[in-house]
Structure 1
Amino acid sequence: MMDLICATRLTSDDFWNRSALGLSLQRISHDHRLKPRIAFENRRGLPSVYNERIDAADAEAILVFIHDDVWLDDHFFFEHVSAAVNAVDIIGVAGNRRRVPGQPSWAFPTPRFEWDAAEHLSGAVCHGQQAFGKVAHFGPVPASCELLDGVLLATRRDLLRERQVRFDERFDFHFYDMDFCRSARQAGLWLATWPIAITHQSSGRAGSPDWQENYDKYLAKWGD
């Protein structure tokens, strides 16, 4: 069994009838191994929602942390994610094989928001408002990484509990993924990209005031 954990500002009706993830889950609702765990009308930071599920008594063995603006283009989602987390500790769909001091994103090595060199990147993600969007190919997959994009992260619940890895609740919607990856690596966990087909509707909000506030917290915590 697999928990799909998502926080959305939408009501339950709007999530299931309008959101990319809600519509995707209805499309593959025949797969009862997938357990949607949705925080509707959410105003909390993502780490709070995610940690709550890690610690829940009824949490499933495999946890998938995912955004509500994601189309699941892969109708073998359960099989592919299960294979991934049995091969490596934490997986994502896009990431960076390296990390440099002060890096503000898995994709950008500096706050100038210029893409890192291709040899450091891995993964592929489609983009667009509808499912099966245009593919952005970042680099070979699978590949070991230092940083993963938080649009989709999957792992085994027992591993997070055993290594005492959690999402830091000082972050809300930015840098929670960067911080999580560094905490996981510090705990000796193996991060990698994996070939799982999704379409992401958003390109992020890097550079916004709330992004900058979280970046300052991130630098203060890690010292680089």
Structure 2
Amino acid sequence: MSLRLVCATPLSPKAFLQESLLGRCLTSTFRDVSLTLHLFPHNTEPLARCYNSVIFQAGGGPDDTLVFLHDDLCILDLFWTETLDAGLRRFDLVGLAGNTRRLPRQPAWAFVDTSWAWDEDHLSGAVAHGAQLPLRLKRYGAPLQECKLLDGVLLAARRSVFLDHGLRFDERFAFHFYDMDLCREFEAKGLRMGTVPLSAAHGSAGRFGAPEWRAAYRAYLEKWGEPMADAQAWASPNSAISPVSPA
């Protein structure tokens, strides 16, 4: 398979390779893996715009595997290309972690509501957290389950799925909710999504509840016809909430 990695980073190309988790693992452990890296350095554009430019650029084949991932993700799986390929034979869109159900006004793939209650019985996949050893492993649930929502830290699909079904990332979502919105678009097309057992470590926490997150949440709800409640409850609205362990 032709593998294309798509990553946007605020770093320069040199700093990406030397400092970011993704850059360091690609230039060391996986430097012999045959792939094309589409890097957007010094990026200030919405992730969705960067991702779409690769989906719809001239050249490349419809069966190319597109992997959209964050620059603070370190791939730990020696057989990750085979794992992705096997997952995409079963699902149209795959990720590392997700939720087997979707609820009205759900604020993130792992949470039920804005009190940040975990949807523990419906989660799938696993991700390690941390930028250095020892890593903190979180097993959300059994992998290879069909999901309604996937975490955007890594998303992979065949390019043909986007082209054949008229799918794209919604560019109104700069960083937050682009992943949940894409999953809903896939669901609306009757496509299958699921998690794969691919070992990786994520170096940062989410910024759920931050002002820019709230603006994106409102836009997401408006798009899908789920108005935000007038008396919306918020827990720890300006703190980083990390999906590491239910607490």
Report TM bin, short chain. over 0.9
The code of the aligned residue for 1:187 comes to K
Q: Secondary structure at the match of 1:126?
A: strand
Determine if contact 1:132/1:199 at 8 Å carries over to the other structure.
Answer: no
In structure 2, the residue matched to 1:169 is 171
The code of the aligned residue for 1:136 comes to K
In structure 2, the residue matched to 1:51 is 52
Q: Secondary structure at the match of 1:56?
A: coil
Summarize the Cα distance change of 1:141–1:183 in structure 2 as closer, same or farther, 3 Å threshold: same
Structure 2 unaligned residues grouped into runs of 5+: 227-247
- Segment drifting more, 57-66 vs 170-179: 57-66
Matched, 1:143 2:145: yes
In structure 1, the residue matched to 2:132 is 130
Matched, 1:72 2:75: yes
The code of the aligned residue for 1:2 comes to L
In structure 2, the residue matched to 1:194 is 196
Q: Percent identity at matched positions?
A: 43
Q: How far 1:135 moved relative to its partner? A: 1.0
- Segment drifting more, 41-50 vs 122-131: 122-131
In structure 2, the residue matched to 1:35 is 36
Partner Cα distance (2:126, 2:189) in 1: 27
In structure 1, the residue matched to 2:112 is 109
Determine if contact 1:3/1:36 at 8 Å carries over to the other structure.
Answer: yes
Post-superposition, which runs of at least 4 consecutive aligned residues in structure 1 deviate over 4 A? none
Q: Which of the two has higher C-alpha Rg? A: 2
In structure 1, the residue matched to 2:243 is none
In structure 1, the residue matched to 2:237 is none
Determine if contact 1:6/1:67 at 8 Å carries over to the other structure.
Answer: yes
Partner Cα distance (1:74, 1:132) in 2: 16
- Segment drifting more, 54-63 vs 83-92: 54-63
The code of the aligned residue for 1:157 comes to R
Q: How far 1:103 moved relative to its partner? A: 0.3
Q: Secondary structure at the match of 1:124?
A: strand
Q: Deviations over 1:186-208 (max 9, x none)?
A: 01110001100100011110000
Q: Deviations over 1:36-66 (max 9, x none)?
A: 1110000000000000000012345100000
Q: Secondary structure at the match of 1:184?
A: helix
Partner Cα distance (2:133, 2:98) in 1: 22
Structure 1 unaligned residues grouped into runs of 5+: none
The code of the aligned residue for 2:31 comes to S
Question: Where do 1:75-90 residues align within 5 Å?
Answer: 75-90=78-93
If the length of structure 1 is used for normalisation, what is the TM-score?
A: 0.96
Q: How far 1:109 moved relative to its partner? A: 1.2
Q: How far 1:131 moved relative to its partner? A: 6.3
The code of the aligned residue for 1:42 comes to N
